[in-house]
Amino acid sequence: MKTRILCLLGWLMLGLGLQARAQQPDFQATDSLIHALAGQYRWAELDSVGRAQLRLGLDYPALRRRLGQAALALDQPALALRHYGRALRENPLDTIARYGLTLAYLELNQPGPAALLARNLPDSLRRPLHLMGFRPVARVELEASGQQTENIHRGGAGFVRLGVSSRLSPRLTLTQNVSHFGQDIDLPDPRRPRFGERYAVRQNQYHALLQVQLAPRWRALLAYHSLASDFGRPRTTPDHLGYAALAYARPYWTAQAGYYFGTLTDTARQQADLRLTVYPLGNLRLYGFGRASVVRSGGRSFPNGVLGVGGRLHRRVWAEAYGGLGQVPVLAELDGTYVYNLFDALRQRGSASLLILLSRPLLLRLSYGAEQRRDGIDGRTYSLYSLSTALAWTW
């Protein structure tokens, strides 16, 4: 009986040993198979085999590089960030992993981390990606928009903006904007309280934004906005607004917290922002974005929020739509690029846009928006409609 039990234990241990050996990953066989699949461009099968080996405990930089290559080929740049990032942490001198990581950030429209990583790449690889260390003019954008309203006391409005971006170093990017806004409105006249007087409102703005890429995941932003606004007063009022923010990026989401402070129309204003962008599919085929703000003005707080969604319709065409809610007397957006120093408070709005990549350096944006505002004179609510276009050239 004892002998039989020992024999059974022996067979059991032998079987378990063979099973464990069968489950142990074979480095040479796996590497050969991965190399063969990559040579045949069978990216989905390569991804499946590679993931299976990772689950079995086989993990090495060359495998991560191949998995990153497959992720890029399968339009999964967020997944490529993880694989290439792991390979680069194992070997900071790995040029292939660094180049792949740079491509993945560009696929997610994040040029800041891409430029920082590309600084250690040879010029032959950086130049085709337009990521050379210093470019006095890296991007030029021209925007124009027109607005129409159903309010008989408010005329049509126009807005134009010229923006120029410069890459000062792999870490530093400076963007400068000049813009002009004009609209004819009826202001109250004590001598004619029923009709008022038509007045041309004009606003000129200058905006400067410095972005500092602290690390691939961390970015600091500092901005200054100057406004020369004429709201029917005997003189033009110079206003100033400062901005500071910190952004953090992960493969499937990015977050940014910012704070505006300054004086607009002789009133101290502050605005706290929290922005979030998510990529549920790990690419730009579908993304969502939102912003939550609290504006402090005249001793009161005004909450405002925006929710939107975007996605790729075609290889060169993207669409976006968003809606916003919350009455505010002033509002700053997109790191201070736009400052709405409003005569009539903004209550709610919505917008839809098309982004068309005309060529590698040329991007066209077409937008249509509708807003609901509160008349600053009689308190009535009215609607405003806008159509805008922007053309951006990237070197």
83 to 31, 96, 119, 171: CA distances (angstroms): 16, 12, 20, 24
Q: Which structure tokens are listed for 154?
A: 């408010």
Instruction: Give 113-167 as a DSSP string.
Output: HHHHHHTTS-HHHHGGGT--S-EEEEEEEEEEEEEEES-TTEEEEEEEEEEEEEE
pLDDT at position 13: 35
Read off the pLDDT of each residue in 267-286 and give the average, rounded to a whole number: 96
Residue 297 identity? S
User: Tens digits of per-residue pLDDT, 144-159?
Assistant: 999 999 888 888 899 9
CATH code of the domain covering residue 85: 1.25.40.10
Domain match, 91 and 173 both: no
Domain-embedded: residue 17? no
Last residue of a domain, one of 129, 160, 193: 129
Residues 115 and 139 in one domain: no
Q: What is the DSSP string of 262-321?
A: EEETTEEEEEEEEEEEE-TTSSTTEEEEEEEEEEEETTEEEEEEEEEEEEEEETTEEEEE
Flag whether 268 is in a domain: yes
Give yes or no: residues 93 and 143 share one domain: no
Same domain, 193 and 71: no
247 and 332 part of one domain: yes
The model's pTM: 0.87
Do 108 and 222 lie in one domain? The reply is no
In the chain, DSSP assigns E strands to 135-149, 154-167, 172-187, 197-213, 218-230, 237-250, 253-264, 267-278, 286-297, 300-314, 317-333, 338-357, 362-374, 381-394
Question: What's at 281, amino acid-wise?
Answer: L
Q: How many whole angstroms separate alpha carbon 52 and alpha carbon 39?
A: 19
Give the mean pLDDT of the chain. 88
Q: Is the pLDDT of residue 109 over 70?
A: yes
* Count of domains observed in the chain: 2
Q: What is the pLDDT of residues 8-31, one digit of tens each?
A: 334 433 343 434 444 445 678 888
Question: Does residue 204 share a domain with residue 85?
Answer: no
301-350 pLDDT per residue, tens: 999 999 999 999 998 999 999 999 999 999 999 999 999 877 789 999 99
The pairing of beta strand 237-250 with beta strand 267-278: unpaired
**Exposed/middle/buried for 213, CB within 10 Å: 0-12, 13-18, 19+?**
buried
* Residue 119 structural domain: 28-129
The reply to whether 323 falls in a domain is: yes
Position 14 scores a pLDDT of 35
* 151 and 94 in a common domain: no
Residues 39-69: tens digit of each pLDDT: 999 999 999 999 999 998 888 999 999 999 9
List the one residue out of 264, 286, 288, 265 whose CA is nearest residue 275. 288
- CATH number, residue 292: 2.40.160.60
Verify that 144 and 285 share a domain, yes or no.
yes
pLDDT at position 295, please? 97
Rounded to whole angstroms, how far apart are CA atoms 260 and 296?
10
- Same domain? 93 vs 202: no
Question: Is residue 345 located within the same domain as residue 265?
Answer: yes
